[in-house]
Amino acid sequence: MTLVSDIDGCLASFESAWNPLLAKITGEDKLPKGWSDDPNFPSEWDWDKTAYGKDIVSKGWEHVARSDKFWLDLKPMPGVGLEVGKQLNRLQRNHDVFFMTSRCGVGVQRQTCQWLYDNLGINYPNVIVVKHFDDKWPLLDNLRAKWFIDDKLETMEGWYNYCYKAGIRTNDHYFALVDRPYNRNGRTVKDMRVAANVEDALKQSNLLELT
């Protein structure tokens, strides 16, 4: 079976390194005190543009594109650690497990593999880097993915719609949106599965019991 997990927002906290970078560029942290411990942050996908403006965000991405360590500085998502890594390592024994992410940077695949090993203890992770979120859909199809999680609403709803058009029976697979504050509004796919986090997705799909 082929399993595919998104990284940022599912395993890694993108905000944990992104906000400090934007604050360093501007010389001021424009987020409310205690934001990193607030379970309701961020409440919108483009929180960075709201707080810092498009020009600063653009400068931030220019920095990331030149950096060979930005992605190494991310913290794991709350509740994600070595235990989740052990579960994923266990699944790798009998399944093809991939980590698919839309990222840029110098040696971005190497950075991502290193992060997965350093923070989750995942051995020899299979990392696929795409340019845009919608690049994931044909790859998921080609990989014949049976299990897929992502936190971006457009990615998951787009994948469900891709499946409908391609004749892929979503009820026979496990495709789930990882619940985050910024993806709770505007959900339009009625039968889309939702998981609280990665561990919940693994429990819902009974994968560990079958391994």
Lookup: tokens for 155: 């990615």
pLDDT at 207: 81
116-146 residue pLDDT tens: 999 999 999 999 999 999 999 999 999 999 9
Strands 2-5 and 96-102: parallel
Q: How far apart, in Å, do the first and last CA atoms of the chain sit?
A: 11
- pLDDT surpasses 90 at 208: no
- Residues contacting residue 165 through CB under 8 Å, at least 6 positions apart: none
- pLDDT surpasses 60 at 211: no
How does residue 209 score in pLDDT terms, banded at 50, 70 and 90?
A: low
pLDDT at 23: 97
Mean pLDDT of the chain: 96
DSSP secondary structure letter of residue 169: -
pLDDT at 50: 96
Would you say how long the chain is, in residues?
211
The identity of residue 15, as a single letter, is E
User: Whose CA is closest to 114, among 99, 102, 136?
Assistant: 99
27-77 residue pLDDT tens: 999 998 999 999 999 999 999 999 999 999 999 999 999 999 999 999 999
Average pLDDT over residues 167-187: 96
Asked if 122 contacts 84 with a C-beta cutoff of 8 angstroms, the reply is no
Asked if 60 contacts 25 with a C-beta cutoff of 8 angstroms, the reply is yes
Which residue's structure tokens are 């950096």?
A: 67
How does residue 169 score in pLDDT terms, banded at 50, 70 and 90?
A: very high
- pLDDT surpasses 90 at 12: yes
Using CA atoms, how far apart are residues 64 and 79, in angstroms rounded to an integer? 26
Strands 75-76 and 12-13: antiparallel
User: Whose CA is closest to 202, among 123, 210, 136, 60?
Assistant: 210
Using CA atoms, how far apart are residues 50 and 41, in angstroms rounded to an integer? 13
Average pLDDT over residues 175-185: 97
